[in-house]
Amino acid sequence: MPRLLLIEDDLTIRTPLVRALRDRGHAVAAASTAMDGLRDALDNRPDLVVLDLGLPDLDGRELLRMLRAVSAVPVIVATARDDETEIVRVLDAGADDYVVKPFTAAQLDARVRAVLRRGAAAGAADPTLVVGGLRVDPRARQVTLDGVAVELTPREFDLLHHLAARPGEVVTKRELLTEVWQIPYGGADKTVDVHLSWLRRKLGESAQEPRYLHTVRGVGVRLEPPGGAA
């Protein structure tokens, strides 16, 4: 039975959601503040966290950053805003998915099950990916380059992992937005460009002098080892 942690301060939302999620086969704990939620997440290690951004003691985005610093637990963010900027911001901060208020228990349950399925598939099937001197371990969410650890944010890791799973192939920005950020393509190219720039810097290269990440102008990006032989 999946163990969920719901961090939501509004009792009129929290109580029926807990009941509905339990009825759908989940074990659910609840917290009404960011600090209580953080303690629960660290002490009890839930399988997934549902996080409301509007908490009384701390902004939900800050709590998300704190969680990501110590845990890889999947997080679904509940937000009242559905504009692209807000969605990109929370996904970049480390959220695995999002729901926009108001939402039903059935919608949240579907999101929960989808995120848990993705995590189970990654843990069961994904081997360490090796591209030249680059090693990407999806289980530990660790990256090394020529034996040296590379510190990445959650979104940078997801981006690199997606590219490393398809070495030598050109991956479009549209695909990266839908598969890595899980948002519809809508002119958010800059989001991909900025993260690729950060990733290049951490891999010790640049767009002008690429080693692993090669831009295909007007199409997307290709990951391949120096010399082009995987």
- Report how far residue 54's alpha carbon sits from residue 168's, in angstroms, rounded to the nearest whole number: 43
Q: Where residue 129 falls among pLDDT bands split at 50, 70, 90?
A: very high
Q: What pLDDT is stored for residue 126 in this prediction?
A: 54
Q: What pLDDT is stored for residue 184 in this prediction?
A: 62
Q: Where residue 40 falls among pLDDT bands split at 50, 70, 90?
A: very high
Q: Tens of pLDDT along 69-83?
A: 777 789 999 988 778
Amino acid at 166: R
Q: Phi and psi for 64 in degrees, rounded to 5?
A: -60, -45
CATH topology of domain 129-223: Arc Repressor Mutant, subunit A (1.10.10)
Q: Tens of pLDDT along 16-28?
A: 999 999 999 999 9
All CATH 1.10.10.10 domain ranges of the chain, comma separated, are: 129-223
More confident: 97 or 139: 97
CATH number of this structure's domain 3-117, picked from the four choices 3.10.100.10, 3.40.50.300, 3.40.50.720, 3.40.50.2300: 3.40.50.2300
Residues 6+ apart with CB under 8 A from 210: 200
- % of the chain exceeding 90 in pLDDT: 54
Give the gyration radius of the chain's Cα atoms.
19
- Range with the lowest mean pLDDT among 20-34, 86-100, 108-122? 108-122
- Report how far residue 135's alpha carbon sits from residue 1's, in angstroms, rounded to the nearest whole number: 33
- Report how far residue 171's alpha carbon sits from residue 178's, in angstroms, rounded to the nearest whole number: 12
All CATH 3.40.50.2300 domain ranges of the chain, comma separated, are: 3-117
Q: Where residue 1 falls among pLDDT bands split at 50, 70, 90?
A: confident
Q: Where residue 202 falls among pLDDT bands split at 50, 70, 90?
A: very high
- Range with the lowest mean pLDDT among 34-38, 79-83, 133-137? 79-83
Prediction pTM value: 0.61
Residue among 22, 73, 66, 12 at smallest CA distance from 48? 73
Q: Tens of pLDDT along 158-168?
A: 999 999 999 99
Going by their DSSP bridges, the two strands 134-137 and 142-145 should be labelled as antiparallel
Residues 6+ apart with CB under 8 A from 80: 53, 54, 100, 101
Q: Where residue 223 falls among pLDDT bands split at 50, 70, 90?
A: very high
| Mean predicted confidence (pLDDT) in 42-66 | 91
8 Å CB contact between 151 and 202: yes
- Range with the lowest mean pLDDT among 10-24, 112-126, 215-229? 112-126
Q: What pLDDT is stored for residue 229 in this prediction?
A: 52
